[in-house]
Structure 1
């Protein structure tokens, strides 16, 4: 039975699931009907953060053009350009035991590709969620439904896995940003052109 989280809640992952070493983080969403005439392309991106809350290099930013990070411990399974259909739209596979010790947090975000040019924002997106599955059994362990709290934002930090006393925990964040992926990347220490 999955633990359902609300914004701001934290939950033990490895402590309550002894022996858990591989997880799949699934992200999903639906787009509402609107008159813009452009397709929506939402993207999941992952930032591998050190103690200082920043990436050490561009290699710690995992997305559709750089699908592997953390010495192969974090793998983005690929871009879904439509968000159509049931189930997860994009997934990330993580081998918890192999995440380099310098990485303290694995942060999951969803952004809207070309949001400004297409006049799109998360007010036009519904049913966004993040869930954590046991990578060996596909059992859903944690689920966080983001709700409809966003209007003008073009990027969301949905949640993060983080280390605490030698165990991994999950935090449901649900923070919205304006400025899309570039704003997020700057906040996490990347130089954006």
Structure 2
């Protein structure tokens, strides 16, 4: 049975699941029935971070246009343009044993594509979640349903995998940002042109 987390909670992943090495991180959302004149296109992105909380290079930014990072240890499933239907909208596979040693944290984010020009924000998004599954068994191990407390934000850091004493843990973050993907990328040490 999955552990259901609240914002700010942290939980052991590998310590409580011995032998777990390959996981799938599923992210999902629903757009509310607002007519902003344009369809919603939400995107899951992943940042591989060092001890200082920064990417080592642009290769540590994994998203629909760069769907592999960490020497192949993190693989994005590709872009879902609508978010329609039940279940995960986008997935990221992580081979925990193959993540480079100088990657201390893996941040999972959801952003709204062209949010400002489309006049869209996370106040118009509901049922956002992140969940961690065993790739081998498909069992859901951890789930974090984001509460509906966003308004003007255009990007959200939903959760983080991080190393602690040789084990992997998961943190339910749920922090919103204005400025979309560009603001997140800049915070994580990338040059945004």
Note the C-alpha offset of 1:147: 1.3
SS in 2 for 1:184: helix
Provide structure 2 residue ranges, at least 5 long, that are not aligned to the other structure.
none
Q: Which residue of 2 is the match for residue 181 of structure 1?
A: 181
Gaps of 5+ in 1: none
Scaled by the length of structure 2, what TM-score is found? 1.00
Tell me, what secondary structure is at the counterpart of 2:123?
helix
Q: Displacement of 1:128 after TM fit?
A: 0.1
2: CA distance, partners of 1:132 / 1:41: 22
Q: Post-superposition shift, 1:122?
A: 0.2
Give the structure 2 partner of residue 169 of structure 1.
169
Cα shift readout 1:101-147 (whole Å, capped 9, x = no counterpart): 01000000000000000000000000000000001001000000001
Q: How many residues matched?
A: 193
1:162-185 per-position Cα deviation (integer Å, ceiling 9, x unaligned): 000000000000000000000000
Q: Partners of 1:148 and 1:59 in 2: how far apart? A: 32
Q: CA deviation at 1:57?
A: 0.2
Partner of 1:4: 4
- CA separation in 2, counterparts of 1:152 and 1:13? 32
Separation of aligned partners in 2, 1:35 and 1:127? 18
Any runs of at least 4 consecutive aligned residues in structure 1 with deviations exceeding 3 A, and if so which?
none
Aligned equivalent of 2:130: 130
1:27 aligns with 2:27: yes
Give the C-alpha shift of residue 46 in structure 1. Answer: 0.1
Matches within 5 A, 1:1-193: 1-193=1-193
Q: TM-score, normalised by structure 1?
A: 1.00
